[in-house]
A = this chain, B = another copy of it.
Amino acid sequence: MSAPRSIAGALRRAGVPRRRLLPRPSIAPIAINSCKSRPFSITSVTEADAPKKIQLTAAAYPQIKRESKFAEVTEEHVKFFKELLGSDSALVDGVTADATDDLAPFNSDWMRKYGGQTRLVLKPENTQEVSKILKYCNEHKLAVVPQGGNTGLVGGSVPVFDEIVINTARMNNIRSFDEESGVFVADAGVILEVADSYLAERGYLFPLDLGAKGSCHIGGNVATNAGGLRLLRYGSLHGNVLGLEAVLPDGTIVDSLSKLRKNNTGYDFKQLFIGAEGTIGIITGISIICPPRAKAVNVAYFGLESFDHVRKAFREAKGQLSEILSAFELMDGRSQGLVRESTGNKQPLEGDHPFYCLIETSGSNAEHDIAKLEAFLEHVLGEGIVADGVLAQDETQIQSLWRWREGITEALSHLGGTYKYDVSIPLPELYQLVEDCKARLTEKGLVGDDDSYPVRAVVGYGHMGDSNLHLNVSVRQYNKEVEKAIEPWVYEWIAKRNGSISAEHGLGVAKKEFIGYSQNETNVKLMKQLKNLYDPNGIMNPYKYI
């Protein structure tokens, strides 16, 4: 472990009392791979949470009815797919007398929140197979659900009824990487962490990182326009994805897998697939520009006295850390308390603060980055913008600090149910939503410390740098009264501020009916026009999106 960094010196020069520095015995180091690569695979979650019963999505959303225009899977269909793919790549249950494959992992998600009823799972190995599958399904009016790592949060990759699952897990080849340009080309089913590790060995970085990286597929990331932890620094997939290979419902293979950073020859058609959640086709390959991997990474964790202080700190970080700032995450006091209660770990800072921030820098020169961080720390501590702070001294401590941000979801999942809202709001009012929601639920007598109250906590955290808040309402059990108190009030609140009801999680089945709060009628009409253009039979991921 390296010697403590000179942040203390900066603090002394700033005339403020010396702050605690990591390491300190109260913080139990957390295993590196447990932090950023939480095992989100269906199997491990199923084992861990086995008692939690999965409700059928069809039951949770009784207003959604199976569309009679779709055919049901027959023995003849199964025969076609088994001949096309082989028996191992066409898993069947309940269609033929001898079908016994376990389809449970494909019929639910890692949260065990959505339950589907598929009886056929297809695992094509290449784009041609996907093309043949879709052409057949389109001709036979068989509805399908494209599925990657199944780590989504809005039920987008889980069937609602008996839609056929087309899983990309067997399309997992890295096709090429150019060390000169940083252009990486791979199958849609490559796991994000596998892609990033491959790039790390070559000094590059996948320009997207998120908690589910150990399970999610890069094709799914693109299909859902995943945002994640470092969008602030590396930008969105709309800018970084250079090309896509995709299959339209009629089997047409769209080869737009350009490796060029600039190509102004016509409509940038591939952009429509980014964030389309598999509703107009299936992405089978992606080409993406990757930045050089940062040689130096630093993480600091702060306590702050108000959201206004958080805003000031963010502004200073943007100005002073500028090009090396790679994350600016917000966590409220209650969220950190929950992580403490859930893990039993001592918090990085003593005392309670209403707000905490995690700042990460990524740069090419460790000495310069530390100097910039020190100057920043001196300023924000000296000015009283930040009340207290620690700076990680090594990779283990970096992971440990990230765990206080990334562990919130897991901590909440141990407490019962969570109503999750992933929203974009202009920065000045970003946290006001949490306050207003808490006040509303408290006023209705729903929030309290003992089990007679349905709501345990209302917490807020998220990607401050992207104006992206995660509002989570932790309940002892799911409760219609609570739900009615939140919805559609929360969406109205967001719409009034021209925010987004889904910043990065997408629409799926969970947000489909609320799109009108973030998109006007014209936009929804234009989107439906596009959907009908590419998928006139509506077989692609039905009952979801728009």
Using an 8 Å CB-CB cutoff, how does the interface string of A258-294 with B read, 1 for contact, 0 for none? 1111111111110110111000100000000000101
Q: How far is the CA of A397 from the CA of B315 in the complex (A)?
A: 32
Closest B residue, CB atoms, query A269: B526
CB of A416, distance to nearest CB on chain B (Å)? 27
Say yes or no for A68: interface residue by CB 8 A criterion. no
Q: Judging by beta carbons under 8 Å apart, are B522 and A252 in contact?
A: yes
Given contacts A178-B426, A323-B323, contact A262 B311 (CB under 8 A): no
Find residues 370-397 in chain A having any chain B CB closer than 8 Å to their own CB.
371-372
Say yes or no for A527: interface residue by CB 8 A criterion. yes
CB of A400, distance to nearest CB on chain B (Å)? 25
Which residues on the B side are within 8 Å of A507 (C-beta)? 264-266
Q: Judging by beta carbons under 8 Å apart, are A263 and B319 in contact?
A: no
Q: How far is the CA of A375 from the CA of B268 in the complex (A)?
A: 40
Q: How far is the CA of A66 from the CA of B498 in the complex (A)?
A: 45
Closest B residue, CB atoms, query A503: B262
Which residues on the B side are within 8 Å of A255 (C-beta)? 520, 522-523
Using an 8 Å CB-CB cutoff, how does the interface string of A221-252 with B read, 1 for contact, 0 for none? 00011010001000110111000000000001
Which residues on the B side are within 8 Å of A324 (C-beta)? 323, 364
Using an 8 Å CB-CB cutoff, how does the interface string of A485-520 with B read, 1 for contact, 0 for none? 000000000000011111111110001000100111
Given contacts A265-B507, A319-B292, contact A271 B500 (CB under 8 A): no
Q: Judging by beta carbons under 8 Å apart, are B468 and A518 in contact?
A: no
Which residues on the B side are within 8 Å of A254 (C-beta)? 522-523, 526
Say yes or no for A22: interface residue by CB 8 A criterion. no
Say yes or no for A350: interface residue by CB 8 A criterion. no
Tell me which of B181, B238, B269, B533 contacts A467 (CB under 8 A): B181
Tell me which of B225, B294, B319, B533 contacts A268 (CB under 8 A): B225
CB of A321, distance to nearest CB on chain B (Å)? 7
CB of A501, distance to nearest CB on chain B (Å)? 6
Q: Judging by beta carbons under 8 Å apart, are B322 and A294 in contact?
A: yes
Say yes or no for A431: interface residue by CB 8 A criterion. no
Q: How far is the CA of A231 from the CA of B269 in the complex (A)?
A: 21
Using an 8 Å CB-CB cutoff, how does the interface string of A514-538 with B read, 1 for contact, 0 for none? 0100111011101101110100000
Identical subunits present: 2
CB of A66, distance to nearest CB on chain B (Å)? 24
Given contacts A180-B315, A363-B323, A522-B254, contact A262 B466 (CB under 8 A): yes
Q: Judging by beta carbons under 8 Å apart, are A364 and B266 in contact?
A: no
Q: How far is the CA of A276 from the CA of B324 in the complex (A)?
A: 34
Which residues on the B side are within 8 Å of A295 (C-beta)? 322
Q: Judging by beta carbons under 8 Å apart, are B268 and A504 in contact?
A: no
Say yes or no for A427: interface residue by CB 8 A criterion. yes
Closest B residue, CB atoms, query A263: B500
Given contacts A180-B311, A239-B238, contact A268 B274 (CB under 8 A): yes
Tell me which of B235, B292, B319, B531 contacts A235 (CB under 8 A): B235
Tell me which of B235, B256, B272, B500 contacts A272 (CB under 8 A): B272
Which residues on the B side are within 8 Å of A269 (C-beta)? 272, 523, 526-527, 530
Which residues on the B side are within 8 Å of A276 (C-beta)? 267
Q: Judging by beta carbons under 8 Å apart, are A468 and B503 in contact?
A: no
Q: How far is the CA of A2 from the CA of B271 in the complex (A)?
A: 47
10 smallest CB-CB distances across A and B, nearest first, come from A239-B239, A271-B271, A322-B364, A262-B503, A263-B500, A368-B368, A260-B424, A265-B518, A235-B239, A323-B323
Give 10 pairs: A residue, B residue, CB < 8 Å, sorted on A. Answer: A261-B424, A262-B424, A265-B515, A266-B275, A266-B523, A267-B272, A267-B275, A295-B322, A323-B363, A529-B533
Further 11 A-B residue pairs, CB within 8 A, beyond A181-B426, A267-B527, A269-B530: A203-B319, A224-B264, A236-B239, A264-B507, A265-B501, A265-B515, A265-B518, A266-B515, A266-B524, A267-B272, A320-B364
Q: A residues engaging B (CB < 8 A)?
A: 178, 180-182, 203, 224-225, 227, 231, 235-236, 238-240, 252-256, 258-269, 271-272, 274-276, 280, 292, 294-295, 311, 314-315, 318-324, 362-365, 368, 371-372, 424, 426-428, 463, 466-468, 498-507, 511, 515, 518-520, 522-524, 526-527, 529-531, 533, 545-546
